[in-house]
Amino acid sequence: MGLITFFLLVLFAITSFYLGYFRSNRVRVIEKQRPFSLDKYYGYYLAIWSVVPAVIILFAILIFDGFIVKNYVLSEFYSQGIDQSEISLLFTQIENTRNGIKLFNSEDEIIVNAVNKLNYIEGIFEITSIITVFSVSSLFLLYGYRKINLNFDARLIVEKFILIGFFLCSLIAILVTVGIIFSLLYETVRFFSQVPILDFLFGTNWSPQRAFVRDAADAADIENAFGAVPLFSGTFLIAFIAMCVSIPVGLLTAIYMSEYAKSSVRNTAKPIIEILAGIPTVVYGFFAVITIAPFIRSLGGSIGLDVSSESALAAGLVMGIMIIPFVSSLSDDVISSVPQSLREGSYAMGATKSETIKKVIIPAALPGIIGSFLLAVSRAIGETMIVVMAAGLVANLTANPLEASTTITTQIVVILIGDQEFDSPKTMSAFALGLTLFVMTLILNFIALRVVKKYTEKYE
């Protein structure tokens, strides 16, 4: 029914629009006076009345019809007292048969009957829903049409509907965020019912595949398998290396771009730097594995160091390169927004350019610059692809950047790749890790935004 209903609705809306439009036109001619609003607003007004209730009803039908259909088809089985799980299985079989998939029992009489019943009720549902929707719409349309007269201000009402539309859109973003949190929270709580939260946060041994061997491992062993400290340390180690690259390079780039570069240089160089941010992270991963890692390995070898082929250093360096544009363009913005009068004040005291930058501009822009660092850190912590490809998969509690180490994001990927049973603690641990990550970046972003906000207030 979807496509037809949709087209009918659009048609209905257009018709209503012109109804309103011409109605208002006629009022103008009869009364020889201008109505409150422009003609088109009366059109919009009627279009809203004809479509909005219809859409609401359609949504309600969409949500409830599956439930009602299922209950109707299965009603006789319920009365026969068949077990709940068996009924669900039966319903799946009925649906599959209806969709043309041959099953072992597709020829059974009860199934064939049920399929007929299903087709019948769905057909009725389709017709009745279309009739209901359009009769309700017509009623509303009539109501709206009768309200149009000289002193009726359709513009204000259209304005209100537009406001509601905007509000609903922003609500969607918020609801999705809340939804993500709750879905994570639900699985995480289930996980922590099997593994104590303290063992997760402070345990130093991460080997979730061990928890798979249910019979061999006793409960204590399961608990020992989910110590996330090696993941935290790996995450922070790699993020730290990345920041060591991106902070100095990014900040100095920003200073050069905002203070020294001529506008011609700036206009070419800035977009090129920002391309760095547009390169897919998989490509960075390639670069880390194929170019940087062997290079570090041979460099380390030449001075007698044993470098593993997957190292935190390689991943961190490449991640740092990826983050440079975040630091540089945000810092560039805050440095450029330092008022020109401060620069002039400093030059007028006989300070050179670099003295001015060091002693006046950087201190004045510092909160904003720190804000950009924090945003970059949260980006580094959440980065996945580069570390999956270049940092290694083994949870290894080490502070040595030359060894392989793993991160929270990598482990989530490793755990969730392939087929999973969704009640094993191994799978659920991914959600706990996800929530931990979410909370960490949330806190960092929160601090960053506060710091940046404090800065912007200062000069206004």
Partner 1 sequence: MENKVKVCVENLNVHYGEKQALFDVCMDINQNEITALIGPSGCGKSTFLRCLNRMNDVIDICKVEGSIKIDGQNIYDKDIQVEKLRERVGMVFQKPNPFPKSIFENVAYGPRIHGLAKDKTELEEIVHTSLKKAAIFDEVKDRLDETGTSLSGGQQQRLCIARAISVNPDVILMDEPCSALDPIATAKIEALMEDLKKEYTIIIVTHSMQQAARVSKKTGFFHLGNLIEVNDTETIFSTPANDKTLDYVTGRFG
Query: What residues between 262 and 321 interact with partner 1 by CB under 8 A?
Result: 262
3-state secondary structure 53-98: HHHHHHHHHHHHHHHHHHHHHHHHHHHCCCCHHHHHHHHHHHHHHH
- 189 or 261: CB nearest partner 1: 261
The number of angstroms, rounded, from the C-alpha of 267 to the middle of its chain's C-alpha atoms is 32
370 binds partner 1 (CB under 8 A): no
Is residue 355 involved in binding partner 1 (CB under 8 A)? yes
Distance from chain centroid for Cα 211: 30
Task: CB nearer to partner 1: give 32 or 458.
Answer: 458
Q: How many of the other CB atoms lie within 10 Å of CB of 269?
A: 14
Using rule CB under 8 A, residue 364 touches partner 1 = yes
349 interacts with partner 1 by CB under 8 A: yes
Residue 269 C-beta: closest distance to partner 1, Å: 17
Report if residue 372 touches partner 1, rule: CB under 8 A.
Answer: no
Size of the site for partner 1 (CB under 8 A): 20
Considering the complex, state which of residue 263 and residue 302 has its C-beta at the smaller distance from partner 1: 263
> Which pair of structure tokens corresponds to residue 396?
């290894």
| Nearest distance, CB of residue 369 and partner 1, angstroms | 14
The 3-state DSSP composition of the chain as helix, strand, coil percent (nearest 5) reads 80, 0, 20
| 123 lies in the binding site for partner 1 (CB under 8 A) | no
Residue number with CB closer to partner 1 (119 or 352) = 352
Q: Is 341 in the site for partner 1 (CB under 8 A)?
A: yes
Interaction residues for partner 1, span 186-205 (CB under 8 A): none
Question: For partner 1, which residue of 33, 92, 267, 352 counts as binding (CB under 8 A)?
Answer: 352
Tell whether residue 350 is a contact of partner 1 (CB under 8 A): yes
Interface with partner 1 (CB under 8 A), residue from 37, 311, 346, 436: 346
Question: Can residue 79 be called a binding residue for partner 1 (CB under 8 A)?
Answer: no
Q: How far apart are CA 439 and CA 432, in angstroms?
A: 11
Residue 454 in contact with partner 1, rule: CB under 8 A: no
344 is a contact residue toward partner 1 (CB under 8 A): yes
Q: Quickly list DSSP for 338-377.
A: S-HHHHHHHHHTT--HHHHIIIIIHHHHHHHHHHHHHHHH
Q: Which of residues 247-266 bind partner 1 (CB under 8 A)?
A: 262
- Among residues 245 and 360, whose Cβ is nearest to partner 1? 360
Closest CA to 324 of 287, 272, 285, 391: 272
Asked if 347 is part of the footprint of partner 1 (rule: CB under 8 A), the reply reads yes
| φ, ψ for residue 45, nearest 5 deg | -60, -45
CA distance 204 to 90: 47
Q: Which of 123, 271, 301, 339 binds partner 1 (CB under 8 A)?
A: 339
Residues 6+ apart with CB under 8 A from 313: 241, 296, 307, 401, 402
Task: Supply the minimum distance, in Å, between the C-beta of residue 348 and partner 1.
Answer: 4
CA 346 remoteness from chain centre: 45
Instruction: Note the residues at the interface with partner 1 (CB under 8 A).
Output: 262, 339, 341-352, 355, 359-360, 363-364, 458
